[in-house]
A and B are shown apart, each in its own frame.
Chain A
Amino acid sequence: MIKMWLIVRKELALVFRQPAILRMMILMPLMQLILLPLAADYEVKNINLQVIDQDHSSYSRSLTQKLGASPYFKLVEANGDPAMARRNLEQNKADLTLNIPAGFEKDLIRESETALSIEADAVNGNKASLGCAYASQIIGDFNREVREKLMQLPRFNDFPVIEVRSSFWYNPFIKYPLFMVPGILALLVTMVGGLMAALNIVQEKEIGTIEQLNVSPLRRYQFLMGKLIPFWFLGMVSVTLGLIVGYLVYGIVPRGSLLTIYFFSAVYLIGALGVGLLLSTLVDNQMQATLFAFFIIMFFVLMGGLYTPIDSMPRWAQILSSFNPVTYFIRVLRFIVIKGSGISDLLVELRSMLLFGIVLNVLAVMNYRKRSA
């Protein structure tokens, strides 16, 4: 036990002796936590809309005004020139073009029917379809107003109306940071815990000092524990750091108990360290480790539901993502922070995380023995 703590002390001393690495370990999470949630605002707004008004009527003008007044759209000048409008679309200066043909108002009043056309830059399909939907909605409102003005009598008969009222729980103002911060925190803990541990061991491998440790009278588990405990500790520190940043920058206070968060982090870090250890046994130098880690982290991030919902994946991908420990941790952190879920709500996740911790570490230790034998 004492021997193990000696290694722990040596490792911690090493970490603190390299100020560059220490700075990185603190700076990286801070930067990511501050920047990513600011950037990850997927609400579709600020759509650049240009209106080609060939009608120049009071209706076309008031429709343009109505669109410009909506929070979704920003009007872009196109001087009524279709060629320029097309150029604006090509150069990303505009996302949508609304064409109001000549005779729009006349047709509406005389023929009781008229047409508009919308063109969208659909390279980003999501934005294009939402933009069209918003525009259609506003035009629909405009249509209703016009109709009510034009038809004095007779009014509509009474008919059955279904009224839908919706309410958004936990995040009524649709704030993205509340959703992103716990997710990114989960990722950071993984990187600090798993990746740093892997790099550390591989570094000793590369320099050759690991041989010295291998021939020392230390037991294998003592050595590995001694290596992993400092990173487990650093991982817990990064959780704390993340929660503080979340509070200071975004004012996020976890709804659930801090104890639950630390409990799950402690369990999860065992698995994350297992990943790092396993990684370190599979590679020879830091470059490989970096590449491998990058590969895995990309996979973890993309399949972990950080940016795109897991429910939207096809079945096979959902099964794949259930083998991703980060999936569970992201879910757990989000649930605790946003909804205040307790351990009893998260038993399935807890079981999976424990399982990961055991399986990964056993695998890693077995693999480690083989390689150094």
Chain B
Amino acid sequence: MTIKEFKHVLRDPRSLFFLLAQPVMLMLLFGFALSNEVKESRVAIIDQARDEETKKLTDRLDQSEYFDVMGHYADPSVVPALFEKGAARLAIVFPPHFANDLEHLNAGQIQVLADASDPNTAAIATSYASAIFGAYQDELLGLMKLPYKINIETRMLYNPQLVSAFSFVPGVMTLILTILCTMMTSVAIVREKELGTLEVLLASPMHPMQIVVSKAVPYLVLAMIDVAVILLLAVYVLGVPIRGSLFLLMAENTLYISNTLALGLLVSTITEKQQVAMFVSLVGFMLPALLFSGFMFPIENMPWPLQWISHAVPTRWYYRIVNAIMIKGLGLASIWKETLILAVMTLGLLVLAVKKFKVRLL
């Protein structure tokens, strides 16, 4: 029976391709293409002074890796048009007589206008610009040694180079396993329901549980392969270490995979159509999995009802476990609580799914 299911999966090379290509694509995209760093922001210079100081400051901006001067203008009235076209993210306005004011009045004013339609990048780019002007100001002051100084030494634990891969590898694993196991098992079973072949199987002398288990096994194996692919890519291509025990990591993975398979099974018992199964998986499980894993969206910023719900989502606990083992190198002693929660959830889901499945048969 399991062999038959394997053949089913293998006979569909296109599906297989996507199941294996998906994690690779995600890993590579997250590893090399996506970043939150704000670099080379296009900045418009509105220079009404055109003196030595403004020229120096403009050069500073242009030389920095964070900015790219896209044009010089004389009149601030061009700014709305630039922003509406998306031609510039920042506009720096130097007032007339900037150098003069700075020299004689000891106060030069610079205006930074930001297109905050993307609030995050606008805030970051603005702070970079302020930092560049601040550095210039420090040079004007000369190296003046200030008395009563508090020195701050900062240490970045676990990830000193601040590599973003460290936080997304566990996230991608969470995502892939959820898609693969929940959606695929539910759609696979519902498909047989839709085609009517499930009845045939159930009428066979096999125990219904055997049928269900043999349906799930190929996906379990596939999921394990995906995990292996992700880990290999993480270690050898992206340079993310596995600091904790590999065995523990795999054990936790198996636990989580069982959890998602149980979910898939549950979905399959409550739906009749593939499209519905797919949407239930997508909306009911994928979305929360994505939302509440803490991978793409910071949980602590959510309104409290959402934070509260997040405790009921398995991915939240799984993501923490993987993070703790891989990146922080912790052992079971530090994550037993998360593991226990996950185990209880899995057991509960399995019991529920099997019960539902049996009821359906009678």
Contacts and interface: CB of A to CB of B under 8 A. Distances in A.
Given A179-B118, A286-B191, A291 B155 contact: no
A311 B113 CA distance: 18
A298 B147 contact: no
Interface string A60-75: 0000000000000000
B78 interface: no
A334 interface: yes
B273 interface: yes
Contact of A164 (B133, B154, B160, B179): B133
Given A40-B297, A312-B37, A165 B111 contact: yes
Contacts of A168: 114, 116, 119, 122-123, 126
B246 interface: no
Contacts of B109: 162-163, 165
Interface string B323-337: 110011010001000
Contact of B140 (A151, A159, A286, A320): A159
A44 B36 CA distance: 13
Interface in B299-342: 300-303, 306, 320, 323-324, 327-328, 330, 334
Interface string A132-150: 1001100110110011001
Interface in A56-93: 87, 89-92
A216 interface: no
Interface stretch (A2-10, A107-115, A227-235, A350-358): A107-115
B279 A309 contact: no
A249 interface: no
Interface stretch (B10-18, B202-210, B224-232, B249-257): B10-18
A368 interface: no
B130 interface: yes
B158 A123 contact: yes
A120 B108 contact: no
A44 B301 CA distance: 8
A128 B102 contact: no
Interface residues of A, number: 112
A94 B334 CA distance: 15
B298 interface: yes
Contacts of B303: 38
Interface in B137-152: 137, 140-141, 146-152
B275 interface: yes
A169 B306 CA distance: 30
A156 B282 CA distance: 63
A322 interface: no
Interface in B16-37: 18-19, 21-22, 25-26, 29-30, 32-37
Nearest to A92: B320
A311 B38 contact: yes
Nearest to A129: B162
Contacts of A42: 36, 120, 297-298, 301
A179 B119 contact: yes
Interface in A162-204: 162-172, 174-176, 178-179, 199, 203
B149 A90 contact: no
Contacts of B300: 46, 48
Interface string A212-224: 0000000000000
Nearest to B110: A164
- Of the candidates A32, A90, A175, A331, the one having the most CB atoms from chain B within 10 angstroms of its own CB is A90
Contacts, number: 343
Nearest to A176: B119
A119 B117 contact: no
Interface stretch (B79-87, B344-352, B353-361): B79-87
A161 interface: yes
Interface stretch (B44-52, B163-171, B261-269): B163-171
A302 B149 CA distance: 45
A129 B150 CA distance: 19
A118 B151 CA distance: 11
Contacts of B19: 291
B104 to A, nearest CB: 9
B157 A119 contact: yes
Interface stretch (A23-31, A259-267, A269-277): A23-31
B38 A309 contact: yes
Contact of A339 (B14, B117, B141): B117
A147 B25 CA distance: 54
Contacts of A132: 154, 156
A317 B84 CA distance: 24
Nearest to A135: B152
Contact of A43 (B14, B29, B120): B120
Given A115-B152, A161-B106, A162-B140, 19 more contacts: A28-B283, A46-B300, A92-B320, A122-B166, A129-B156, A129-B162, A147-B147, A159-B141, A162-B133, A162-B137, A167-B113, A168-B123, A170-B83, A174-B116, A175-B119, A286-B275, A288-B14, A295-B21, A314-B32
**Shortest 3 CB-CB contacts between residues of A and residues of B:** A125-B162, A168-B116, A317-B33
5 contacts: A136-B152, A162-B140, A167-B113, A168-B116, A314-B32
